[in-house]
Structure 1
Amino acid sequence: MIVGVLAVQGAFAEHEKILKELGVEYLELRNGNDARQDFDGLILPGGESTTQGKLLRELDMFEPLQEKIAYGLPVLATCAGLILLAEELSNDSARYFGTLPVKVKRNAYGRQLGSFYTEEAVGDLGKVPMTFIRAPYIESVKAGVEVLAEVNEHIVAVRYKNQIGLSFHPELNEDRKIHQMFLDSISHQDLKAWTQKAI
């Protein structure tokens, strides 16, 4: 198993550290050639979504990654990564991959709660530590989207087919349940189903 990690900006090194700890090989995605390689899953890290979106296009990574995701490549997207996946942003006209049928609000918690920590249940994983840093949250979801977690009545984790979108940063805590859930989703699907179609 090889996981591609978007490594143009943001907290990608923390995800890589966890993958290494879990014995999973990873590939840093820094240009179009990297994005066209064969890998079994994709991590879109936190950071600055506007910068990431711009670099994805400038470095010829946007279209190959969007196509892989659309064809079923498993994805774990945290914070800015969630914004990249979202079909709609409620407070921004930008749109990036648009593969996750949710409406997301950027920087949703404002300055006072710009960063905070809590623990809440995520799906059937039990309680998971959650670190929020100038985080978005999900305002609404469309049919087929499974809500995995809410904090203060706001949706902060969802799953849709092959995509897991999170408002928080699981890579900044010691709990590995989120990453293991993502890796399990790779193991349990027919990898060739999408690789034969993707570029």
Structure 2
Amino acid sequence: MTDATPTIGVLALQGDVREHIRHLEAAGARAVPVRRRTELDAVDGLVLPGGESTTMSRLLDVYEMYEPVAARITAGMPVYGSCAGMILLASEVVNTRADATWFSAIDMSVRRNAFGRQVESFEADLVVDAFGPEPLRTVFIRAPWVERVGPDVQVLAQVRASDDREHIVAVRQGNALATSFHPEVTPDVRVHEYFLDMVRAATS
């Protein structure tokens, strides 16, 4: 592992694993799927992909990966969560199963499926200063939104929803990054480049 080409894992229990690996490689990383503790130990950063958050929560326990991932995040490993991954990084989750677990890496309250059902999925062009001046095409699929952030959380992006209100959809706190949307399903790799820079900074 080197600072120039970090090794970034994608949690490969469920969700958009291949899409994130493709984008990370395009951004300049070595990207690998992570299903076991030994694979986690070998990475500089970790992506929690989009998928189904309660299913991922259960599989983290089934594969005995919750505690190892939590320990790495607490120790400062950079982590990025998209959609379901955002939910797993929250400190509070609204509208989830009673037995669900999450990592509390970002001081925020997240509402699951806040934008509606699959049929209500949508796309939007957002200008996100952290990702560059050009509009970023964002895809929301049964996406969460952030209802509350703590004082140490940086809000990166908001989007206007069907309730005609602006809702937070991208945040960062320290070495943790999260988006409601799925950058891995668009051709744009700027979110992954941003995360890669976070990993380089943490490992330099």
CA distance in structure 1 between the partners assigned to 2:50 and 2:73 by the alignment: 18
1:74 to 72, 78, 81: 78
Q: Classify 1:163/1:66 alpha carbon distance in 2 versus 1 (closer, same or farther; 3 Å).
A: same
The DSSP-based 3-state class of the residue aligned with 2:18 is: helix
The answer to whether the Cα contact below 8 Å between 2:111 and 2:147 also exists between their aligned partners in 1 is yes
The answer to whether 1:61 aligns with 2:74 is: no
Partner of 1:167: 180
Structure 1 residue identity aligned to 2:54: T
TM-score (norm 1): 0.90
Aligned-CA RMSD value: 1.5
1:108 to 105, 109, 114: 114
The DSSP-based 3-state class of the residue aligned with 1:95 is: coil
State the identity as a percent.
Answer: 43
CA distance in structure 2 between the partners assigned to 1:187 and 1:14 by the alignment: 21
1:149 to 157, 174, 185: 157
The answer to whether 1:95 aligns with 2:101 is: yes
The answer to whether the Cα contact below 8 Å between 1:101 and 1:142 also exists between their aligned partners in 2 is yes
Q: Classify 1:112/1:64 alpha carbon distance in 2 versus 1 (closer, same or farther; 3 Å).
A: closer
* Residue 99 of structure 1, CA deviation: 1.6
List gaps (5 residues or longer) in structure 2: 1-5, 161-165
Partner of 2:44: 40
Structure 1 residue identity aligned to 2:50: G
Partner of 2:30: 25
* Residue 23 of structure 1, CA deviation: 3.3
Q: Deviations over 1:50-101 (max 9, x none)?
A: 1111111110111111111111111111000001111001223433112211
Return 41-50 or 103-112, whichever deviates more. 103-112
Q: Classify 1:73/1:151 alpha carbon distance in 2 versus 1 (closer, same or farther; 3 Å).
A: same
CA distance in structure 1 between the partners assigned to 2:94 and 2:149 by the alignment: 12
* Residue 109 of structure 1, CA deviation: 1.1
1:3 to 2, 8, 12: 8
Runs of 4+ in structure 1 deviating by more than 3 angstroms, as ranges, are none
The DSSP-based 3-state class of the residue aligned with 1:39 is: coil
TM-score (norm 2): 0.88
Structure 1 residue identity aligned to 2:115: Y
Partner of 2:163: none
CA distance in structure 2 between the partners assigned to 1:22 and 1:144 by the alignment: 28
